[in-house]
Structure 1
Amino acid sequence: MKKISRRSFLAAAGLSVAALALTACGGSSASTASSVASSAASSEAASTSAAAGELTTVEAGKLTMATNATFPPYEMTTDAGEFEGIDIEAAQAIADKLGLELQIDDMDFDAALLSVQQGKADIVMAGVTVTDERKAVMDFSDSYATGIQSVIVPEGSDIASPDDLAGKKIGTQRGTTGYIYCTDDFGEDAVVAYDSGLTAVQALNNGQVDAVVIDNAPAKEYVAANPGLKVLETSYAEEDYAIGMAKSSPLEDAINSALEELKADGTLQAIVDKYITAE
């Protein structure tokens, strides 16, 4: 079907320095090693603080992230009302790299996209796909994740592949690429847009739509929580996920540098592995 992409991250890694004291009169060596370690840590902290001071953000000292926390396992809320997920931990790791405090603002998906365009948030992370239409109104970081658009149908459905969606009623989340793809392929009259993926799946359970098109990771979560539903083996689309920012954002270079470091040291992959197990 279509081709575009997505993938993700973990909480900040701390610096640990161990000084080994040798035998005999080792007091001096241990003291020297400790002093060097302390000096290195102080130097890094000072460097991070200085770098953070040079960054222009919506709120001084903070990295404000707009998201839509109804998209497991990328962003969701716990029973205690706290945020968790791949994008949440990735953003925290980036904020730590930049020496900034992470602030998360939860809102509808469309509002999250508008938030960075209007200068109300520094970044948007909500499984955001890079498209030409979005590139016209915002800038994007390097890709951090590769994802798949999947189709959820009831067990026993006559829909066996994405091609069978023709003539069916399709549920999607408003403003997502799933909505864009389906309206392009099957027309606006065939697609029903809901405020969240969860609401779309509830509509599928109630027989209001014949299928739901949504990202593969949350699709699996929804199917696991709703017996009688399944994900088709054939994917609908592949796409790249990136961090959205305002046009000409002063943070773009810094965020890309942080992403590069987090990819290189394995932090991003560790976060993904924490939430998405290998099949």
Structure 2
Amino acid sequence: MTRRPTLKVFAVLPALAIMLAGCGDASAPSGDGSSADGGPELVNEGKLTNCTGLPYKPFEYEEGGEVIGFDIDLMDLVAKELGVEQDVVDTPFDGIQSGADFNAGKCDLSSAGMTITDERKQNIDFSDPYFDATQALVAKKGSGIASLDDLEGKRLGVQNSTTGQTYAAENAQGAESVVFEDLGLLLQAVETGAVDAGINDNGVLYDWVKEKTDFEVVTEFDTGEQYGIGMRKGNTALADVVNKVLADAKASGEYDRIYEKWFGTKPGAN
């Protein structure tokens, strides 16, 4: 697969964003996202620009100055279908799930381990589901924490703008929620004891405890979540391509190969 460097992107000041919008940013596509030849219109010529929030191992993370992961391999397939290369943009997750990054022409799509929700559908469009997930709780071994009830009066780490944060707000009201901008900061707080436990998607937490053997995933919550690739609302031209690539990859066995590469097992295997 083609490796690529991470492009760090910082939030644009609101006043500047308004000024650029007033000037009519040509990079921001409109309508159904079709180009003159009927294919998807891309915000950067010759590139499929993918906004994501790092780190989110094993879905997307930086290693040796390159961004790799399960989601990245899948989006390489989309880029190949379009005859371009993937360019990964690291940006805060809130700008992705709110649709702001797409509307500003920052990226074409987002593979970010992002759960499809009705609230997010108001701001962005999703591909067909491509991954099943659920929320889970991680804590230090021997901590005595086995459920959210055990966090009464304790500190629970959550990631900003995620379904884990929402689940904690609704189901862990006896705990003090401590909000972190990304998964890396959340897990660092769990490791140092700055928080007593952390909540996030099960895939990333199980991956983390493989190396951090003093910690364990103490429980999962049946939230029945599914990930989707996010895109600007109304960008049907790109959505059609992404859905075709995902369906073809599953039919050919390529999806299973990529899945096993990053998770060590085939989909659905225990």
Query: Do both proteins adopt the same fold according to a TM-score greater than 0.5, normalized to the shorter chain?
Result: yes
CA distances 1:49-96 after superposition (whole Å, capped 9, x unpaired)? x99873211123321100113011100111x20111000000001111
CA–CA distance in 2 between the matches of 1:132 and 1:68? 21
Give the TM-score of the pair, scaled to structure 1.
Answer: 0.75
Structure 1 unaligned blocks of 5 or more: 1-10, 13-49
Residue 117 to residue 184, structure 1, CA distance change in 2 (3 Å) = farther
CA–CA distance in 2 between the matches of 1:186 and 1:52? 52
Residue matched to 2:48? 63
Residue matched to 1:98? 82
CA–CA distance in 1 between the matches of 2:37 and 2:175? 49
Shift, 1:236, TM fit: 5.5
The worse-fitting range, judged by mean Cα deviation, of 248-257 and 135-144 is 248-257
Contact 1:145 1:241 in 2 (8 A): yes
- Specify which of 240, 257, 265 is matched with residue 244 of structure 2: 257
Give the TM-score of the pair, scaled to structure 2.
Answer: 0.78
Residue matched to 2:193? 207
SS of the residue aligned with 1:93?
helix
Shift, 1:188, TM fit: 9.9
- Specify which of 75, 78, 85 is matched with residue 60 of structure 2: 75
Residue matched to 2:92? 108
Residue matched to 2:229? 243
- Specify which of 150, 159, 182 is matched with residue 136 of structure 2: 150
Contact 1:160 1:232 in 2 (8 A): yes
Amino acid at match of 1:184: E
Contact 2:151 2:174 in 1 (8 A): no
Contact 1:151 1:236 in 2 (8 A): no
Contact 2:79 2:85 in 1 (8 A): yes
Shift, 1:221, TM fit: 2.7
SS of the residue aligned with 2:113?
coil
Residue matched to 2:122? 136
CA–CA distance in 2 between the matches of 1:184 and 1:199? 22
Contact 1:117 1:138 in 2 (8 A): no
Amino acid at match of 2:56: F
CA–CA distance in 1 between the matches of 2:175 and 2:144? 20
Q: Give runs of aligned pairs for residues 19-38 of structure 1, distance below 5 A.
A: none
Contact 2:134 2:224 in 1 (8 A): yes
Contact 1:52 1:98 in 2 (8 A): no
Residue 242 to residue 51, structure 1, CA distance change in 2 (3 Å) = farther
1:181 and 2:167 aligned: yes
Residue matched to 1:274? 261
CA–CA distance in 2 between the matches of 1:209 and 1:52? 53
Amino acid at match of 1:106: D
Structure 1 or 2: larger helix share? 1
Residue matched to 1:87? 71
CA–CA distance in 2 between the matches of 1:109 and 1:233? 25
Contact 1:52 1:61 in 2 (8 A): no
CA–CA distance in 1 between the matches of 2:103 and 2:116? 15
CA–CA distance in 2 between the matches of 1:221 and 1:258? 26
Instruction: Count residues with an aligned counterpart.
Output: 231
CA–CA distance in 1 between the matches of 2:74 and 2:36? 19
Contact 1:117 1:137 in 2 (8 A): no
| CA radius of gyration, larger in | 1
SS of the residue aligned with 1:139?
strand
Residue 183 to residue 96, structure 1, CA distance change in 2 (3 Å) = same
Shift, 1:101, TM fit: 2.1
Amino acid at match of 1:255: V
Shift, 1:192, TM fit: 0.9
CA–CA distance in 1 between the matches of 2:168 and 2:222? 10
SS of the residue aligned with 1:251?
helix
1:228 and 2:214 aligned: yes
